[in-house]
Amino acid sequence: MQQDGKIGELKELIKARDERIAELEKEVEKLKLLLEELHLQLEQLRQQAPEAVKLRNIGGEEEAGKKRRVGQSLNWVVKQSHSNVFERLYIDAMDRIRRMEKLKMQFMEMQRQQLYYNSLNC
Protein backbone atom coordinates (compact mmCIF):
# COMPACT_ATOMS: atom_id res chain seq x y z
CA MET A 1 0.00 0.00 0.00
CA GLN A 2 2.74 2.37 0.90
CA GLN A 3 4.42 1.62 -2.44
CA ASP A 4 1.25 2.65 -4.33
CA GLY A 5 1.17 5.98 -2.49
CA LYS A 6 4.79 6.67 -3.35
CA ILE A 7 4.23 5.69 -6.96
CA GLY A 8 1.24 8.04 -7.21
CA GLU A 9 3.24 10.81 -5.59
CA LEU A 10 6.11 10.27 -8.02
CA LYS A 11 3.70 10.30 -10.96
CA GLU A 12 2.34 13.65 -9.78
CA LEU A 13 5.87 15.02 -9.45
CA ILE A 14 6.71 13.82 -12.95
CA LYS A 15 3.53 15.38 -14.33
CA ALA A 16 4.30 18.70 -12.62
CA ARG A 17 7.88 18.60 -13.88
CA ASP A 18 6.71 17.88 -17.43
CA GLU A 19 4.29 20.81 -17.27
CA ARG A 20 7.06 23.07 -16.03
CA ILE A 21 9.35 21.87 -18.82
CA ALA A 22 6.64 22.64 -21.38
CA GLU A 23 6.22 26.14 -19.94
CA LEU A 24 9.95 26.74 -20.03
CA GLU A 25 10.21 25.47 -23.59
CA LYS A 26 7.51 27.94 -24.63
CA GLU A 27 9.38 30.73 -22.85
CA VAL A 28 12.63 29.72 -24.53
CA GLU A 29 10.92 29.85 -27.93
CA LYS A 30 9.61 33.36 -27.20
CA LEU A 31 13.05 34.47 -26.08
CA LYS A 32 14.62 32.97 -29.19
CA LEU A 33 12.21 35.00 -31.33
CA LEU A 34 13.08 38.15 -29.39
CA LEU A 35 16.77 37.41 -29.75
CA GLU A 36 16.39 36.91 -33.49
CA GLU A 37 14.53 40.22 -33.73
CA LEU A 38 17.30 41.97 -31.82
CA HIS A 39 19.87 40.31 -34.04
CA LEU A 40 18.10 41.61 -37.16
CA GLN A 41 17.91 45.11 -35.69
CA LEU A 42 21.59 44.94 -34.80
CA GLU A 43 22.47 43.87 -38.34
CA GLN A 44 20.43 46.75 -39.76
CA LEU A 45 22.24 49.20 -37.51
CA ARG A 46 25.59 47.77 -38.51
CA GLN A 47 24.70 48.24 -42.16
CA GLN A 48 23.62 51.82 -41.52
CA ALA A 49 26.67 52.70 -39.41
CA PRO A 50 29.15 53.24 -42.30
CA GLU A 51 26.81 55.80 -43.86
CA ALA A 52 26.50 57.62 -40.54
CA VAL A 53 30.28 57.59 -40.14
CA LYS A 54 30.70 59.24 -43.55
CA LEU A 55 28.24 61.96 -42.60
CA ARG A 56 29.91 62.44 -39.22
CA ASN A 57 33.32 62.82 -40.83
CA ILE A 58 32.16 65.89 -42.72
CA GLY A 59 32.93 68.16 -39.78
CA GLY A 60 33.78 68.30 -36.10
CA GLU A 61 34.99 64.71 -35.87
CA GLU A 62 37.99 65.35 -33.66
CA GLU A 63 36.20 67.42 -31.04
CA ALA A 64 33.18 65.10 -30.90
CA GLY A 65 35.53 62.12 -30.57
CA LYS A 66 37.36 63.78 -27.68
CA LYS A 67 34.10 64.51 -25.85
CA ARG A 68 32.90 60.92 -26.31
CA ARG A 69 36.23 59.54 -25.05
CA VAL A 70 35.96 61.71 -21.93
CA GLY A 71 32.45 60.37 -21.31
CA GLN A 72 33.55 56.79 -21.86
CA SER A 73 36.54 57.08 -19.54
CA LEU A 74 34.23 58.42 -16.82
CA ASN A 75 31.69 55.68 -17.61
CA TRP A 76 28.93 58.15 -18.39
CA VAL A 77 27.71 59.93 -21.45
CA VAL A 78 28.63 63.56 -21.85
CA LYS A 79 25.46 65.38 -22.87
CA GLN A 80 26.31 67.94 -25.46
CA SER A 81 24.59 69.94 -28.12
CA HIS A 82 25.52 68.61 -31.51
CA SER A 83 25.49 70.95 -34.43
CA ASN A 84 24.87 68.04 -36.75
CA VAL A 85 21.72 65.92 -36.46
CA PHE A 86 23.45 63.04 -38.21
CA GLU A 87 26.10 62.95 -35.51
CA ARG A 88 23.39 62.57 -32.84
CA LEU A 89 21.75 59.81 -34.87
CA TYR A 90 25.08 58.04 -35.22
CA ILE A 91 25.79 58.25 -31.49
CA ASP A 92 22.28 57.01 -30.68
CA ALA A 93 22.67 54.10 -33.12
CA MET A 94 26.00 53.07 -31.62
CA ASP A 95 24.55 53.26 -28.09
CA ARG A 96 21.64 51.11 -29.24
CA ILE A 97 24.04 48.53 -30.68
CA ARG A 98 25.95 48.38 -27.39
CA ARG A 99 22.71 47.96 -25.43
CA MET A 100 21.49 45.20 -27.74
CA GLU A 101 24.80 43.35 -27.47
CA LYS A 102 24.63 43.62 -23.68
CA LEU A 103 21.04 42.32 -23.68
CA LYS A 104 22.08 39.48 -25.96
CA MET A 105 24.83 38.48 -23.55
CA GLN A 106 22.43 38.66 -20.60
CA PHE A 107 19.91 36.53 -22.49
CA MET A 108 22.54 33.92 -23.32
CA GLU A 109 23.61 33.84 -19.66
CA MET A 110 19.99 33.36 -18.57
CA GLN A 111 19.59 30.51 -21.04
CA ARG A 112 22.79 28.88 -19.79
CA GLN A 113 21.61 29.14 -16.19
CA GLN A 114 18.19 27.75 -17.07
CA LEU A 115 19.75 24.77 -18.81
CA TYR A 116 21.96 24.20 -15.80
CA TYR A 117 19.02 24.32 -13.38
CA ASN A 118 16.99 22.03 -15.62
CA SER A 119 19.81 19.51 -15.69
CA LEU A 120 19.94 19.57 -11.89
CA ASN A 121 16.19 18.99 -11.53
CA CYS A 122 16.10 15.93 -13.77
Mind listing the pLDDT tens digit for each residue in 40-73? 888 888 888 777 666 655 555 555 565 555 555 5
Q: What is the number of structural domains in the chain?
A: 1
- Global pTM reads 0.37
Note whether residue 7 is domain-resident: no
Q: Bigger pLDDT: 102 or 63?
A: 102
Cα–Cα distance, 39 to 34 (Å, whole number) = 9
Note whether residue 8 is domain-resident: no
Note whether residue 1 is domain-resident: no
Note whether residue 6 is domain-resident: no
Cα–Cα distance, 75 to 7 (Å, whole number) = 58
- Quick one: pLDDT at residue 69? 58
Note whether residue 87 is domain-resident: yes
- Quick one: pLDDT at residue 109? 92
